[in-house]
Amino acid sequence: MNETTKPDAVAQMRDWWRTEIIEMKPGVIRFRGYAIEDLIGQVTFPQMIWLMLRGELPAPAQAKLLDAALMSGVDHGPQAPSIAIARMAATCGVGLNNAMASAVNVLGDVHGGAGEQAVLLYDDVQSRIDAGADARAATEAGLADFVAQHGKIIPGFGHRFHPVDPRSPRLLALVDAAAAAGVVSGKYARIAREIESVLLAQKGKGIPMNIDGATAVIYAELGFPAPLARGLFCLSRSVGILAHAWEQTQQGGRNKGPIPRQYVPTYDGPAPRPVPSQ
């Protein structure tokens, strides 16, 4: 708590906010060592996302897979809380940035976390394979452990709405092509399919891979740590959030509630009663 000026006070301040991402000097902006004026026109938006998060530029084929994962998850309609919130916010007299914030904010463990959890599940199965288990046994053990710890909802598999998620087979086909070309190993695609197979055997009906399961395959194949699966989903879904907030802005409306005003919510609490004297 010594408030005397110490010789290193400025150095302490600068270090408090130290970063390996961006270097700033007057007239100079470098990302991970690359001058911004060199990056512009050379490097695509998905490549830039990779550079910012990973520290190095991806190979073009890696960037293409990342691109597919990002573009495929932008939106799943106004039934999703995030999209509904964006639309409601857009009628409340706040900016698009605010509508986006309220919406991205709810991409939590349940709404936006399945991709992250799926990567962790895949990693767990892979570590069992690395330790010598065969794929089937490793998958069964990984699933059993997951259910014991987290309950019966398997992240990345099954959908309340779609019997088959039309996005998953296409994304997996891209992974297969990339694996065939040596861009990725393909081992996470195999694990995800093994999980589908085990779930089918255990439940007697298909619990097919959904968008979270399929993008998690891509993120895991590309070497992203699990928490970034959520982060990347937030970037992706931000596009749908923005598009719906903007569409609602153009449709107009003020204080859009979740249901039209004539459908008053059911009240289930105590009957009318007087306030007791204090």
Looking at beta carbons only, is 40 or 148 nearer to its own copies?
A: 40
Residue whose C-alpha is closest to residue 156's, from 203, 207, 97: 207
Min. distance of Cβ 124 from its own copies in angstroms? 20
Residue whose C-alpha is closest to residue 156's, from 79, 50, 73, 42: 73
Looking at beta carbons only, is 18 or 148 nearer to its own copies?
A: 18
Min. distance of Cβ 179 from its own copies in angstroms? 15
Burial class (CB in 10 A: 0-12, 13-18, 19+), 166: exposed
Min. distance of Cβ 237 from its own copies in angstroms? 9
Please provide the DSSP assignment of 114-173 as one string.
HHHHHHHHHHHHHHHHHTT--HHHHHHHHHHHHHHHH-S--TTB--SS-SS-THHHHHHH
> What span, in angstroms and rounded, lies between the C-alpha atoms of 94 and 82?
16
Looking at beta carbons only, is 95 or 223 nearer to its own copies?
A: 95
209 conformational bin, left if phi > 0, alpha if psi -120 to 50, beta if neither: beta
Residues facing 35 on adjacent strands: 30
Looking at beta carbons only, is 132 or 270 nearer to its own copies?
A: 270
> At CA 227, angle to CA 221 and CA 232, rounded to 5?
70
Min. distance of Cβ 121 from its own copies in angstroms? 16
Looking at beta carbons only, is 72 or 139 nearer to its own copies?
A: 72
| Residue 77 identity (one-letter amino acid) | G
Min. distance of Cβ 116 from its own copies in angstroms? 9
Looking at beta carbons only, is 111 or 136 nearer to its own copies?
A: 111
Min. distance of Cβ 195 from its own copies in angstroms? 20
Phi, psi of 273 (to 5 degrees): -155, 155
> What span, in angstroms and rounded, lies between the C-alpha atoms of 9 and 28?
25
Min. distance of Cβ 140 from its own copies in angstroms? 26
Looking at beta carbons only, is 137 or 164 nearer to its own copies?
A: 164
Min. distance of Cβ 142 from its own copies in angstroms? 22
Looking at beta carbons only, is 105 or 202 nearer to its own copies?
A: 105
Half-sphere exposure for 270 (CA within 13 Å, toward CB): 4
> What span, in angstroms and rounded, lies between the C-alpha atoms of 278 and 275?
9
